[in-house]
Structure 1
Amino acid sequence: MCETFIANHQFNAIKKHAENVLNAVRTASDRKVIESVKSSAEAEVAAMFPLATGERLKLLGEIVNVQTAEDYAKFTRALEPYLTEFPRVTKEQIVKLFPKNKKLKLPDLAAIDYRYITYLSWLDVASNKLFIVYPLDGKLIGVEGRYTPMNKKNYCFICRKYDELALFSAVSKKRPPNSSPDYYKAVGNYLCASGHDCNANMTDTTALESFIRSVLA
């Protein structure tokens, strides 16, 4: 059995670098340009895994051999056994993350392929609430907020993809000392209307983690 070491967002990033190599091979007439793109892709991918040695580096280094669509498919398929799953969560764990929601509607956990998600999210259509679960600093964190479809395209703050967006507005979980009972601070941003698409496009977790920390602060 393979020892996993590639997170979903890293897998997405590797695929983008492989696409760059394939596009260079297809469109560039200058051999030096092609070799430069290959070298850059290999270095960028290796930098994502500073502790990787031996077989792992060899596996990742195959990116320079992507010449055709078939090569691309073969390369990415070879990485799939090494994908690290999102932490398996139970319904009981999720309920504990959102204690104020007495009638919390849960996603179908059995239908999720945990290899391909960086964060777990689902929408409660009845309340227009979006729920997000993410392992921050080794601990599962739950964030909930108002979900408002924008019916327009722009760039998602999480994955940076140009797509249909929704405004996600969460209330900060902490309040200043001696603040009034009515005090609240909303933290909002625009994200993909589809959590599935967002997870498929994420190449970095920085923006998501920064948002979650701002909600917790």
Structure 2
Amino acid sequence: MEPFIRSDQYHYIKQQVRHIVQTSALINDQEMVQTIQDLGKDKMMEVFHELTDLERRILEGITKLEDRTDAEMYEARILPLVHPFEMPAEEEVRELFPYLTKVKPPLLGANVDERDLTYLSWFDAGLDRKFIVTYRNGELVGMEGSFTYSGQKNLCSICREHEHVGLFVTDVTEYKRRGNYVCKDSVTCNRNITDQRHLYKFMDNMKR
């Protein structure tokens, strides 16, 4: 079966799964548990616009979760149906940043699953720049800027979670700069993303 779930959708599903299992564990009323499961299913379905009958049946398995073991089995069952992030070629990345020399995407570590990624980010110490690259409407887009670690937790503008962040600053024009806080660890950030629109909004705001 072909993948049909985006990374951010998968993380949103996992969020609903955790809520269902954790809440159900505190309730003895089976009718209330079923209501919680149905609400979780409805919220999950809202992030999908078109599904085949088979895809819908697979996702609706969320209404049969009773404990953590069920949750882990459900997540493992849908993981193969998640689109992996398509790693861009070095030439594609250079085309995004033609004014910078020797820029190239990083090699992913063994602990990084491409299905967890909504975007690719890395810090190039030689250039002293942080890069953010993603796909939007099928097109590779990116931005770069300086990054200064804050040394503390704050709200990340991309994943909208409280994590260790730093100030990411871009040059909008020769005389205008714009900055915002983003996660220091982009892998953690990616795993927190439950709505890719937050990433797109962040990138749009940084270029205005």
TM score, norm. by length of structure 1:
0.88
Q: Supply the AA of the counterpart residue of 2:49.
A: P
Q: Counterpart of 1:205?
A: 196
Shift of 1:83: 0.6
Shift of 1:92: 1.1
Structure 1 gap segments, 5+ residues each: 176-182
Q: Counterpart of 2:5?
A: 6
Q: Counterpart of 1:153?
A: 153
- Percentage of matched positions with identical amino acids: 29
Q: Supply the AA of the counterpart residue of 1:117.
A: L
- Tell whether 2:158 aligns with 1:167: no
Aligned length: 207
Counterpart-to-counterpart distance in 2, 1:211 and 1:169: 12
Shift of 1:50: 2.5
- Tell whether 2:48 aligns with 1:57: no
Shift of 1:30: 3.6
Q: Supply the AA of the counterpart residue of 1:60.
A: L
Q: Counterpart of 1:214?
A: 205
Q: Counterpart of 2:176?
A: 185
Match of 1:39, SS?
Answer: helix
Match of 1:133, SS?
Answer: strand
Match of 1:141, SS?
Answer: strand
TM score, norm. by length of structure 2:
0.92
Q: Supply the AA of the counterpart residue of 1:119.
A: Y
Q: How does 1:62-141 map to 2 (within 5 A)?
A: 62-108=61-107, 113-141=113-141
Q: Supply the AA of the counterpart residue of 1:145.
A: G
Q: Deviations over 1:119-170 (max 9, x none)?
A: 0101113443110111123211120011110001112111122111111111
Q: Deviations over 1:27-76 (max 9, x none)?
A: 12343432222111000111111211311111111111111211111100
Match of 1:135, SS?
Answer: strand
Greater displacement, 49-58 / 22-31:
22-31
Q: Supply the AA of the counterpart residue of 1:208.
A: L
Match of 2:105, SS?
Answer: coil
CA RMSD across the alignment? 1.8
